[in-house]
Amino acid sequence: MRYLIGVRYIGSNLCGMSKAAEHALPSVEDLVSNALNGFVSRGNSYHSSSSNDGDVDKWMNLQISSRTDAGVHAIRNCFHVDIIRPEGKKPFKTSAVANGINSYLSKQTSKYMKHNHDHDSHGIYTIDTKRNSMRNQSHLRSVLITDVKTVQSTFNARSDAKSRIYEYHILVPTQAAQAVYDVNAIKRKSKLKLNDTETSIDNDHNNDDDDFVESYESLTRHRNIFHEERKWCLPHPLDTKAMQDACDILCNNSEETDYSSFRNSRCSSSSPFRKIIKFNVYSHSFPEHPTHSNTTDTNTNTNTENNNDNNNLLINQTNQITITVEATSFLLRMVRNMVGLIVQVGEGKIKLDDVKNILSVKNRHKIKIKPAPAEGLYLKNVVYD
């Protein structure tokens, strides 16, 4: 029986969706293959290509829909796999497949993973110490089966997909927060000119504006620990209208277009032509981490109240910009290269006329586009009929 399986994963500690023998980190395919081994064999020693016995369950023909890069996340990627049962046994129910694979994704033991190392040429799961065991378990917790359904034996998760939808998440300060930051930065520079040393500035902690600037700068520096592996955090606002205009140019009226300008040099696709169906930019308020409003230290009530006031001002001063692009398929690094260009437009570094020129060049080596980092990219969905 062939199953179409949806999979969600956090790509921060993975080398991507597909196997990569040269990479030190496991791939989603590696972890799912291990879990399939455990599921079909009920935890017994088994490898999918090592047995032809007709009296055992086995799996084969795993085909991935979309090969995401290292560090890229997926809300729902897909793959198909055949799970073959001995004659006389009914096919597994979809719920049993989902629960079984998830169980082995989250509960594989060190002994089982060591067995796979002994039999798999991609032996990257050796468990030598408790520390390594904990590290690999964190990889397993990063992958989750979301849905399973049965499909025809001729169905192909890659070639039968009608489109793929990607999202790119960016965090930026709002225009209001940036304006306050800029004004107070100017004030601080003016004070530096009026004072011979920095001592007078450093000792002046009673000025509310200085406190706001210090709090804002500190929060901006440290908030990345919550989001740096999930979003692209930028220290300045972006012009979302200009970014949408750039998306409209790149979408090219939903016609098949040569996107060689955004194609990675290692791309193996036979054609650079792709059809972008939708390309949109959205912006909305993004709440930061909660403030600490309850303090019992009476000796620091005043300072605590000031800090809380500053944090309350800042808590809604961040916007998330989401770039959504849907296409029939994508070239290698195409989305990240496009987002890198669109962000430069939003920063005012590249004009819209330049976007048209870059698209028409059709040669990645002749243009300098810094690709957006992997951590902000999500494969949102793979669409089928």
Instruction: Return the residue matching tokens 């300008």.
Output: 261
Query: What pLDDT, on a 0 to 100 scale, did the predictor assign at position 265?
Result: 85
Are residues 352 and 246 in contact, defined by beta-carbon separation less than 8 angstroms? yes
CATH 3.30.70.660 residue ranges for the chain: 167-383
Q: The domain at 167-383 falls in which architecture?
A: 2-Layer Sandwich (3.30)
Query: What pLDDT, on a 0 to 100 scale, did the predictor assign at position 275?
Result: 95
Angle at CA of residue 360, ends 356 and 159, nearest 5°: 105
Query: What pLDDT, on a 0 to 100 scale, did the predictor assign at position 337?
Result: 96
Q: Tell me the DSSP string of 2-36.
A: EEEEEEEE-GGGS--SS--TT-SS--HHHHHHHHH
Query: What pLDDT, on a 0 to 100 scale, did the predictor assign at position 149?
Result: 97
List CB contacts of 287: < 8 A, sequence separation 6 or more: 315, 316, 318
Query: What pLDDT, on a 0 to 100 scale, did the predictor assign at position 363?
Result: 84
Q: How far apart are CA 79 and CA 66, in angstroms?
A: 8
Q: Which two tokens stand for residue 30?
A: 């590696």
Are residues 5 and 145 in contact, defined by beta-carbon separation less than 8 angstroms? yes
Query: What pLDDT, on a 0 to 100 scale, did the predictor assign at position 287?
Result: 67
CATH number of 2-160: 3.30.70.580
Query: What pLDDT, on a 0 to 100 scale, did the predictor assign at position 291?
Result: 43
CATH 3.30.70.580 residue ranges for the chain: 2-160
Q: Which pTM does this prediction carry?
A: 0.77
Query: What pLDDT, on a 0 to 100 scale, did the predictor assign at position 36?
Result: 94
pLDDT averages per 10-residue partition of the chain, 385 residues: 97 88 82 92 52 76 94 97 92 95 74 42 37 49 93 97 97 71 58 54 52 49 64 91 96 89 89 95 74 45 53 62 96 96 96 94 85 96 96
Query: What pLDDT, on a 0 to 100 scale, did the predictor assign at position 365?
Result: 80
Q: How far apart are CA 40 and CA 60, in angstroms?
A: 11
Summarize pLDDT for 279-309 with one digit per residue, the tens. Answer: 999 998 876 544 444 444 445 455 555 555 5
Query: What pLDDT, on a 0 to 100 scale, did the predictor assign at position 48?
Result: 46
